[in-house]
C-alpha cells in the first residue's frame, strides 16, 4: 500500500499560483498523480473536474471526493453513480453545517491544490480566485487531516431522503488515515483537540484563503509592475508624438465648435481638452517617478519570490492590531519598490524587517472560536473581493490590453509612431482648411 511521506522530512517547498491557463495546470497535475486524489469541493462540481476524476479512476488511482449537497450536485445523481461504480469514494457534505470557502485536493499525499479548480474553464470569469499548488509538507499534512475531519464530521446520507442518489461512502480507516492522524498529532494539529473539528476546519479554511489572497495580491502587483514598465517605455518612445496628436485634436475640435457651434461639437471639444489635460498629468507623473529597471528571466523570478516572502511578513492583515500602522507603511514601501522593479530596495527592506519586531512575528491566526474565525473569514472574503475589483480595473486599462497582446514593444512603438504621425498630419491639414475657410 502507498505510504504518505513523513511531513517532517526537510526539503525545499514551492508554491505556484495560476490565474490564467488554469484548466491546463489542473489537468497537468491530475495527470501526474500516481496513487491518490483526495478532494472536497466547494459549490457545484464542473464537468471538466468530474471527467478528470473519471480519468484518474481509469488509471487505477484511489479517488475520494467530498461534495456539498447542493441542488446542482444532487441533480447529477447519475453522474455520481457512475463515479462510485468505477470505485470512487463519495461523501456528501452538508453545506449548512460547515461552509466551504474554497475547494481543496491532496494529490499523492505530497501536493495540495486549492482554489476554483472544480469550476475551472478555458476562460475564467472576473471573480476567479485562481489555482494555488503547494508542496510544503506541513501544508499537505494539515490539508489531508482537515479533509478527513471534514468528511467524518459533516456527512449526510442521501438514501434517507432519496434512494436514487448514491450513498455516502464510508471513509475507511486505512493505514494512510492512521498515519495522517499520527503525524498531525505529532506536529500539533490533531484531528481531535480542544478546538473541536469545526474550529479546526474553519481555521484551516482561513489559512487556505489567506494563501490565496496573498497569491492574488502578488499577481496583481506583478500586473501593476508590468503596466508601469510599459507606460514608462511608451512615454519614452512615443510620448511626444502622443502629446502632439492630442494637442492637434483639441485645437481642431475647439476650432470646429467655434465655427459651427452645436452641442455635439461642444462635447467633442470638451472631451478632447480633457484627454489632453489627463495626458499632461500622466506624463508629468511618469517623468518624476523612477524608471522601472528591465529584468531578465532569473531576476524576474527572484523579485517575485522575494515580494511574496516579504508580503507574508508585513501585510497589514497578518500583524497584530498595535502593529498595523507600521505594517501599512512597510507594505507600501514594498509595493512601490516592486512596481519600480527595484530589487536592491526590496533586499534592504528584507534586512530591515529581520531586525524589527514586525519581521519576527510568526504569521497565522491564533486559535479562536467559531464566531471569531467566521468574522475573520468574512473580512478575508472582502479582501479578496477588493482584490478582484483592483485586478479587473487593471485588465480594463488600455496599457494592459496592449502589453498583454504585444510581446515586442519596440516593434509596436515603431508602428504606432507611423500611425501617430499620419494622424497629426491629418488634424493639421484639417485645421489649415478651417482656417482658410474662415479667412475673408
Range 360-366, long-range pairs (CB < 8 A, 24+ positions): 361/313, 361/319, 361/320, 361/323, 363/312, 363/313, 363/318, 364/207, 365/203, 365/206, 365/207
Q: Quick one: cell of 115? A: 482554489
pLDDT of residue 30: 92
77-80-86-90 Cα dihedral, nearest 10 degrees: -130
Closest CA to 314 of 353, 366, 355: 353
Alpha helices (H) in 33-105, listed in sequence order: 47-58, 71-74, 77-85
pLDDT at residue number 179: 43
In whole angstroms, give the CA distance from residue 227 to residue 275.
20
pLDDT (0 to 100) of residue 291: 66
pLDDT tens-digit map of 93-149: 876 666 678 889 999 999 999 988 887 765 555 556 688 899 888 888 888 888 888
What pLDDT, on the 0 to 100 scale, is given for residue 264? Answer: 93
CA 155: distance to chain centroid?
30
Task: With both helix axes pointing from N to C terminus, report the angle between 409-438 and 197-260 in degrees, rounded to the nearest 10.
Answer: 30
Q: Order of strands across the sheet with 111-115?
A: 15-18, 131-134, 111-115, 103-107, 36-41, 62-68, 89-93
Per the DSSP assignment, residues forming a β-bridge with 105 are 39, 113
Within the chain, all domains assigned CATH 3.30.870.10 are found at 15-193
The pLDDT value given to residue 101 = 81
Q: With a cut of 50, which residues of the chain have pLDDT below it?
A: 1-11, 159-194, 359-367
Output the pTM of the full model. Answer: 0.73
| In this structure, CATH architecture of domain 15-193 | 2-Layer Sandwich (3.30)
Amino acid at each position: 500500500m502507498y505510504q504518505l511521506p513523513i511531513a517532517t522530512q526537510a526539503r525545499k517547498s514551492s508554491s505556484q499560483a495560476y490565474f490564467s491557463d488554469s484548466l491546463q495546470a489542473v489537468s497537468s497535475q491530475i495527470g501526474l498523480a500516481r496513487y491518490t486524489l483526495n478532494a472536497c469541493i466547494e459549490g457545484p462540481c464542473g464537468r471538466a473536474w468530474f471527467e478528470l476524476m473519471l480519468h484518474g479512476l481509469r488509471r487505477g488511482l484511489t479517488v475520494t471526493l467530498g461534495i456539498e449537497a447542493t441542488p446542482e450536485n444532487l441533480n447529477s445523481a447519475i453522474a455520481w453513480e457512475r463515479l462510485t461504480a468505477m470505485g470512487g469514494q463519495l461523501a456528501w457534505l452538508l453545506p449548512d453545517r460547515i461552509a466551504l470557502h474554497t475547494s481543496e485536493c491532496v494529490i499523492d499525499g505530497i501536493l495540495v491544490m486549492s482554489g476554483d479548480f472544480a469550476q475551472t474553464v478555458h476562460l475564467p470569469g472576473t471573480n476567479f480566485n485562481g489555482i494555488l499548488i503547494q508542496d510544503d509538507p506541513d501544508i499537505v499534512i494539515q490539508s489531508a487531516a482537515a479533509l478527513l475531519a471534514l468528511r467524518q464530521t459533516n456527512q449526510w446520507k442521501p438514501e434517507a431522503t432519496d434512494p436514487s442518489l448514491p450513498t455516502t461512502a464510508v471513509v475507511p480507516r486505512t493505514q494512510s488515515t492512521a498515519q495522517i492522524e499520527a503525524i498531525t498529532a505529532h506536529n500539533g494539529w490533531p484531528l481531535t483537540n480542544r478546538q473541536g473539528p469545526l474550529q479546526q476546519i474553519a481555521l484551516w479554511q482561513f489559512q487556505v484563503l489567506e494563501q490565496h489572497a496573498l497569491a492574488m495580491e502578488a499577481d496583481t502587483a506583478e500586473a501593476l509592475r508590468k503596466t508601469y514598465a510599459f507606460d514608462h517605455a511608451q512615454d519614452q518612445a512615443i510620448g511626444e508624438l502622443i502629446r502632439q496628436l492630442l494637442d492637434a485634436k483639441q485645437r481642431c475640435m475647439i476650432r470646429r465648435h467655434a465655427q459651427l457651434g452645436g452641442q455635439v461639437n461642444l462635447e467633442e471639444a470638451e472631451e478632447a481638452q480633457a484627454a489632453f489635460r489627463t495626458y499632461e498629468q500622466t506624463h508629468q507623473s511618469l517623468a518624476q517617478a523612477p524608471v522601472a529597471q528591465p529584468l531578465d528571466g532569473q531576476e524576474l523570478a527572484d523579485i517575485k519570490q522575494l515580494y511574496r516572502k516579504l508580503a507574508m511578513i508585513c501585510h497589514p492583515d497578518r500583524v497584530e492590531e498595535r502593529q498595523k500602522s507600521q505594517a501599512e507603511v512597510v507594505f507600501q514601501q514594498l509595493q512601490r519598490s516592486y512596481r519600480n522593479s527595484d530589487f536592491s530596495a526590496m533586499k534592504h527592506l528584507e534586512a530591515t524587517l529581520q531586525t524589527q519586531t514586525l519581521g519576527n512575528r510568526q504569521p497565522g491566526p491564533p486559535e479562536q472560536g467559531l464566531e471569531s474565525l467566521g468574522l475573520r473569514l468574512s473580512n478575508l472574503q472582502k479582501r479578496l473581493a477588493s482584490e478582484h475589483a483592483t485586478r479587473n480595473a487593471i485588465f480594463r486599462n488600455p496599457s494592459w490590453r496592449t502589453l498583454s497582446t504585444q510581446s515586442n514593444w519596440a516593434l509596436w512603438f515603431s508602428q504606432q509612431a507611423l500611425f501617430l504621425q499620419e494622424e497629426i498630419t491629418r488634424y493639421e491639414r484639417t485645421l489649415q482648411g478651417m482656417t482658410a475657410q474662415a479667412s475673408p
